[in-house]
Structure 1
Amino acid sequence: MRIENRLAELGLELPQPMKTPSGLELPFPWVRLWPGRAFVSGHGPLHADGSLWSGLGKVGSDLTTEQAYGAARATALAVLASLQRALGDLDRITAWLRVFGMVNTAPGFNQTPAVINGFSDLIIELWGPEAGPHSRSAIGVAELPFNIPVEVEAEVAVD
């Protein structure tokens, strides 16, 4: 429970599962386990109770880069919560392999790497310089579901 203890030391709480809008059915798992791997579906930022992050909209017009960095950090917590539910213990993650970050951008906003750093910085802080670094893309998109500012999917190695 090293990772869970580190989260507690940082004063961070893993959120409850996402509260989806009434009538919405998601026909896929949040985490797909495969021998030696876990593939994480796209997650957005959540509050501790599983509700959507309150800072919604486009980065560069509705939110600043710094606010979106916070949303990416909250997205990391949502991903960790799903991985914890699927794996039972976050210490089973032996390496972060790939992160794909999408940012809901206003026209002309091109600081997507700085936004997704909110996700990557937390992962590297928790897993350290050996298991935390990952390959990564950070792209801007015209829209994201529910008007969330950030969505991230990932792949991790597990024992």
Structure 2
Amino acid sequence: MNPIYHLEERLKAKGLALPPAPTPLGAYVPAVISGNLLFLSGMLPLRDARLIRTGKAGFDVTLEELREDAAQVVLNALAVVKQTLGDFNRIVRCVKLTGYVASADTFYEQPQVINGASELLFELMGERGRHCRSAVGVSVLPLNSPIEIDFIFEIDKC
């Protein structure tokens, strides 16, 4: 059986659950399918429709907190994937993610922050969770969020 079919079981085994899919905070849609690609808009570390924390890496927020935020972003993204596709059976793989980290000008550990997302995707999806990525330091993000991540998934056309 395709290992992606077990994604929800892997979530449960890790003590995690998908949250409700976050609603857009502006004039955009959370996901767009083009051909065999599913593009997700930038996801914030929201829990119960609120940011878990605010601030900048290297100033207000620790590396470990940022890694937790990155994992929450993955859960939010998977909730959008499920809402868009109905289930996870059409996912072929995660192709790419781009992580943005609101950073003090002396913070250089953006890759370690975004590892919180990359590692969880691999744990949940196996090899299909390995992806290309960028980890970018920025001066500010929407709502004073410490991170934002967007995703591209390859899907079966069906």
Whether TM-score is above 0.5 comes out as yes
Are positions 1:56 and 2:54 aligned together? yes
TM-score (ref. length: structure 1) = 0.90
Distance 1:83 1:64 in 2: 29
Preserved CA contact (<8 Å) 1:17 1:50: no
Q: Distance in 1 between matches of 2:28 and 2:23?
A: 15
Q: Distance in 1 between matches of 2:154 and 2:21?
A: 22
Contact kept in structure 2, 1:19 and 1:51, CA below 8 Å: no
Q: Give the letter aligned to residue 123 of structure 1.
A: L
| Match among 8, 14, 23 for residue 12 of structure 2 | 8
Kindly indicate whether the alpha-carbon contact (under 8 Å) linking 2:82 and 2:88 is maintained by their aligned counterparts in 1: yes
Q: Which runs of 5+ in 2 are unaligned?
A: none
Deviation at 1:35, TM superposition (A): 2.3
The secondary structure found in structure 1 opposite 2:154 is strand
Kindly indicate whether the alpha-carbon contact (under 8 Å) linking 2:100 and 2:149 is maintained by their aligned counterparts in 1. yes
The aligned length equals 152
> RMSD between aligned alpha carbons?
1.4
**Which letter maps to 1:144?**
L
Give the letter aligned to residue 152 of structure 1: I
Pick from 44, 65, 79: which aligns with 1:81? 79
Q: Judge conservation of contact 1:101–1:137 (CA < 8 Å) in 2.
A: yes
Amino acid at match of 2:126: G
- Normalised to the residue count of structure 2, the TM-score between the two structures is 0.91
Partner deviation per Cα, 1:113-133 (whole Å, 9 max, x = no partner): 00000000000111112x111
1:105 matches 2:109: no
Equivalent residue runs for 1:7-156 within 5 Å: 7-18=11-22, 26-47=26-47, 49-53=48-52, 55-129=53-127, 131-156=128-153
Which structure 1 segments of 5+ residues have no match? none
Aligned-partner SS, 1:69: helix
- How high is the sequence identity, in percent, across the aligned residues? 38
- d(CA) in 1 for partners of 2:46, 2:22: 7
* Distance (whole Å) between structure 2 residues aligned to residue 93 and residue 44 of structure 1: 22
Q: Matched residues in 1 for 2:121 and 2:28: separation?
A: 24
| Equivalent pair of 2:37/2:154 in contact (CA under 8 Å) | yes
What one-letter code is carried by the residue in structure 2 that aligns with 1:3? L
Residue type of the alignment partner of 1:70? E
User: CA–CA distance in 2 between the matches of 1:90 and 1:51?
Assistant: 25
